[in-house]
């Protein structure tokens, strides 16, 4: 199964279970925090939807962290000679490419792919500068691919905030519709409850978006450090 589809299904399952638990807890205890988390139905569907998007984004970020961990391990595996002033001969390059091909069968990585392509270029024209240009070009390609993949996380963060705003609009609209009921105690309670829902959705959405973007920023920092180690130029 595609990892993204798996993340969607897992996130949906977590959000549904969380929604059930929060709703049951709120109906039993009437706890204000549980209401803010989506315990008040049908308006709680907004918070549960934001939780679904949040967990989806979080699982995608975790996938990225695992990817950078793989690259970090590749950097530690000493795929290239690290002795000072060591010069690779043409035979060394051929042997290195064969070693990389064997390594990629079990532990593929961006670093091994870059080394393999640089070796291929060097074998073709024996030009060190052109081999280095392959390294630079492939690094730029990898950065663009990574940036494109992060677009989904940024979109999910935006969608979470938008759902929070939608919940606020719906809550305020429902409260205004019930304004004629404030002549009674029950009416006042209903209107204040709807206003609480309106602000709860925005609060939960902003909080989840902040957490998601924090982890994305952490990943981006690790990614930048990893790329600098692969290609310091």
- The pLDDT of residue 84: 62
Q: Residue 93 and residue 80: Cα distance in Å, rounded?
A: 10
- 179-219, pLDDT tens digit by residue? 776 666 766 777 777 777 778 888 899 999 999 999 999 98
Q: Which residue has better confidence, 178 or 170?
A: 170
What ranges do the domains of the chain cover?
A: 3-79+140-230
Q: Residue 100 and residue 147: Cα distance in Å, rounded?
A: 26
**Does residue 140 register a pLDDT over 60?**
yes
Mean pLDDT of all residues in 60-88 = 75
Residues in CB range of 20: below 8 A, 6 or more apart = none
- 9-43, pLDDT tens digit by residue? 999 999 999 999 998 988 888 787 888 888 777 77
Q: Where are the alpha helices (DSSP H) in 30-127?
A: 32-34, 44-76, 90-104, 110-125
- The pLDDT of residue 212: 94
- The pLDDT of residue 86: 64
**Does residue 87 register a pLDDT over 70?**
no
> What percent of the chain clears pLDDT 90, i.e. is strictly above it?
22
> pTM to 2 decimals?
0.80
Q: Which residue has better confidence, 209 or 233?
A: 209
**Does residue 8 register a pLDDT over 70?**
yes
Torsional sign, CA 204, 207, 210, 211? negative
Q: How many CB atoms lie within 10 A of CB 48?
A: 22
Mean pLDDT of the chain, nearest integer: 81
**Does residue 76 register a pLDDT over 70?**
yes
For the chain, the distance separating the N- and C-terminal CA atoms, rounded to the nearest angstrom, is 38
Cβ–Cβ under 8 Å, residues 191 and 172: no
* Exposed/middle/buried for residue 28 (C-beta within 10 Å: 0-12, 13-18, 19+): exposed
Distances (CA, A) of 185 to 31, 77, 128, 189, 190: 20, 71, 83, 6, 9
Q: Residue 79 and residue 83: Cα distance in Å, rounded?
A: 12
Q: Residue 69 and residue 66: Cα distance in Å, rounded?
A: 5
Instruction: Give residue 136's pLDDT band: very low, low, confident or very high (50, 70, 90).
Output: confident
- The pLDDT of residue 158: 94
The helix/strand/coil state of 87 is coil
Mean pLDDT of all residues in 86-95 = 70
């Amino acid at each position: 199964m595609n990892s993204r589809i798996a993340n969607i299904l897992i996130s949906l399952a977590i959000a549904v279970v969380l929604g059930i638990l929060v709703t049951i807890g709120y109906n039993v205890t009437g706890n204000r925090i549980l209401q803010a988390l989506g315990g008040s139905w049908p308006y709680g569907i907004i918070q549960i939807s934001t939780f679904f998007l949040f967990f989806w984004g979080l699982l995608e970020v975790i996938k990225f962290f695992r990817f950078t961990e793989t690259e970090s391990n590749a950097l530690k595996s000493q795929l290239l000679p690290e002795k000072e002033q060591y010069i690779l001969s043409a035979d060394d390059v051929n042997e290195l490419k064969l070693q990389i091909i064997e390594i990629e069968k079990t532990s593929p990585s961006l670093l091994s792919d870059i080394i393999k392509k640089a070796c291929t270029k060097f074998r073709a024209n024996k030009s060190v500068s052109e081999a280095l240009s392959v390294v630079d070009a492939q690094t730029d390609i990898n950065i663009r691919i990574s940036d494109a993949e992060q677009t989904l996380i940024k979109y999910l963060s935006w969608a979470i905030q938008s759902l929070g705003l939608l919940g606020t609009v719906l809550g305020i609209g429902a409260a205004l519709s019930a304004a004629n009921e404030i002549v009674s105690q029950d009416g006042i309670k209903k209107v204040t409850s709807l206003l609480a829902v309106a602000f709860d959705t925005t609060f939960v959405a902003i909080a989840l978006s902040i957490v998601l973007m924090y982890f994305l920023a952490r990943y981006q920092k690790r990614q930048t450090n990893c790329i600098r180690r692969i290609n310091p130029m």
